[in-house]
Chains A and B, each alone.
Chain A
Amino acid sequence: MVTPNPAFASELAAYGGENAKMCFQCGTCTASCPSGRETAFRTRKLVRMAQLGLREEMISSEDLWQCTTCYACQERCPRGVQIVDVVIAIRNIAVASGKIYANHKKTGENLLKYGHTVSINDKVKAQRAELGLPEVPPTVLANEKAKADLDIILKATGFDKLIG
């Protein structure tokens, strides 16, 4: 037996996953999902759990993180459910509850540190120079004021605390 939690609908809606309620459980999403072929992740099941508000089960399961956001499911959904948005919404809820994998956290730390999700290193600097490109790409990496502005934004949204 599961105990539905209708209050979850408003939390899901606040994160942009509201139209999960349109799903009538046909399973086209699961049949289209390349992750579902390789893992226990079942898209239809996740959307059903979202409808029932099984918050803890969803945010504690690694199934939530098997989606590559490829949109194969969403393209074929006969009910027009924005399934990727639903997955993103539940992931936001998970992360806000402190559920984040170490390797994902690292990507977030890179954004805070470099303003990019990957680091810069001497090898790529040399390759860039060889190509006649500036060693450091012309982005926040070479622009202190712009990086400071980005930092202000990441602080204003609380991302520094969320990841840090």
Chain B
Amino acid sequence: MAKYAFFLGCIAPLRYPGIEKSTRVVCEKLGIELVDLTDASCCPAPGVIKAFDKKTWLAAAARNLALAEKKGLDIITICNGCYGSLFDAAYELHEDKALLADVNKILAKIGMEYKGTTKVRHFAEVLYNEVGIEAIKSKITKPLEYEVAAFYGCHFLKPSKIKQLDDPENPHILDDLIEATGAKSMPRKQRTMCCGAGGGLRAGFPNTAMKFTKTNLENIKESGAKYIIDVCPFCHLQFDLGQKDLGFSFPVLHLSQLYGIAMGMDAKELGLSAHQTPVKL
């Protein structure tokens, strides 16, 4: 059985706990064991904390990476922000030994050391690359007939030079994962565009962030999709909270929730009461 250190992050456990719950249930059904990282903190957020002070970002990320390393496990994340942050930090610390030594001087203050061995994985990518589409299909008990918009977000695939998962301009991983449930991923314009939330834009300049969201929602509407399927709780939040003021009402589901539905989870277990835009299944 594949086993990973489960990195929760901030928005999933603290704003959309149904994403956490669905991930736990779906992983169990797919034979993936999740071990809680009970000492973990924020990743920390790449667009804000890293933008304020890179040294702090790297040291706090290294602490999270070291926690998993101590358990002998690789990290699995359910958030593009956590994935971007921890993957990038792991990459930098793996490539630059002098930087690793500097960070370890800070970790030494809490009796820790990071050796540079932790690999950071994204839930969607683990499902695609490790479990595989055919094995996923064999676990689907309730085939879905939804027409949906696949929302990749940014830090899942980019920077592609180091992520090397899929074509960042014309990706297919998430579309394939969605279609494994029987749902149809509808083609649309600008499908790899940012939701608007990242980089501190939602916090600092929310009106500009909402303009991004509006463009995406218009493209989704034009595509004929009825649901938005994301792989990032921050994109999830941006669409779920933001669309009401823009006059849209697309139910927003994280991939783990879509899989939860297709694998027979009870609607109550999906945590849909936390959603601001009602989700009718």
Contact with A along B168-195 (1 / 0, CB 8 A): 1100000000000000000000001110
Q: By the criterion CB–CB under 8 Å, are A92 and B159 in contact?
A: no
Kindly provide the distance from the CB of A132 to the nearest chain B CB, expressed in whole angstroms. 7
A142 to B38: give the CA distance in the assembly, Å. Answer: 8
A142 to B119: give the CA distance in the assembly, Å. Answer: 25
Kindly provide the distance from the CB of B56 to the nearest chain A CB, expressed in whole angstroms. 4
Q: By the criterion CB–CB under 8 Å, are B21 and A156 in contact?
A: no
A153 to B39: give the CA distance in the assembly, Å. Answer: 14
Kindly provide the distance from the CB of A96 to the nearest chain B CB, expressed in whole angstroms. 8
Q: By the criterion CB–CB under 8 Å, are A117 and B42 in contact?
A: yes
Q: By the criterion CB–CB under 8 Å, are B154 and A68 in contact?
A: yes
Q: By the criterion CB–CB under 8 Å, are A34 and B194 in contact?
A: yes
Q: By the criterion CB–CB under 8 Å, are A91 and B42 in contact?
A: no
Find chain A residues with CB under 8 A from B198 CB: 68-70
Q: Does B15 contact A (CB under 8 A)?
A: yes
Beyond A101-B204, A146-B39, whether A117 also contacts B45 by CB under 8 A is: yes
Q: By the criterion CB–CB under 8 Å, are B204 and A104 in contact?
A: yes
Most buried by A among B37, B49, B159, B199: B199
Checking A39, A106, A108, A124 against B274 with a beta-carbon cut-off of 8 angstroms, the contacting residue is A124
Beyond A88-B54, A95-B52, A137-B8, whether A68 also contacts B38 by CB under 8 A is: no
**Stretch from A23-31, A44-52, A53-61, A71-79 contacting the other chain:** A71-79
Q: By the criterion CB–CB under 8 Å, are B36 and A157 in contact?
A: no
Kindly provide the distance from the CB of B249 to the nearest chain A CB, expressed in whole angstroms. 21
Q: Does B141 contact A (CB under 8 A)?
A: no
Find chain A residues with CB under 8 A from B236 CB: none
The number of chain A residues with a CB under 8 A from chain B is 67
Q: By the criterion CB–CB under 8 Å, are B41 and A104 in contact?
A: no
Find chain B residues with CB under 8 A from A132 CB: 21, 269
* Complex: chain A residue closest to B6, CB-CB: A138
Q: Does B197 contact A (CB under 8 A)?
A: yes
Checking A15, A100, A137 against B14 with a beta-carbon cut-off of 8 angstroms, the contacting residue is A137
Q: Does A162 contact B (CB under 8 A)?
A: yes
Q: Does B138 contact A (CB under 8 A)?
A: no
**Stretch from B143-151, B205-213, B222-230 contacting the other chain:** B205-213
Q: By the criterion CB–CB under 8 Å, are B194 and A68 in contact?
A: yes
Q: For chain B, residues 1 to 43, give those with C-beta under 8 angstroms from any C-beta of chain A.
A: 8, 10-11, 13-15, 17-18, 20-21, 36-42
Q: By the criterion CB–CB under 8 Å, are A91 and B51 in contact?
A: yes
Checking A34, A88, A111, A142 against B51 with a beta-carbon cut-off of 8 angstroms, the contacting residue is A88
Q: Does A3 contact B (CB under 8 A)?
A: no
Q: Does B63 contact A (CB under 8 A)?
A: yes
Q: By the criterion CB–CB under 8 Å, are B194 and A111 in contact?
A: no
Kindly provide the distance from the CB of B108 to the nearest chain A CB, expressed in whole angstroms. 10
Q: By the criterion CB–CB under 8 Å, are B205 and A66 in contact?
A: yes
Contact with B along A136-162 (1 / 0, CB 8 A): 011110110111011011101111001
Q: Does B50 contact A (CB under 8 A)?
A: yes
Q: Does B158 contact A (CB under 8 A)?
A: yes
Beyond A34-B194, A157-B55, whether A131 also contacts B271 by CB under 8 A is: yes
23 A-B Cβ contacts within 8 A? A15-B54, A34-B215, A62-B205, A68-B194, A68-B201, A68-B212, A69-B155, A71-B155, A75-B158, A75-B169, A88-B50, A92-B52, A95-B52, A104-B48, A111-B44, A131-B269, A133-B20, A142-B38, A146-B40, A149-B39, A153-B56, A153-B63, A157-B56
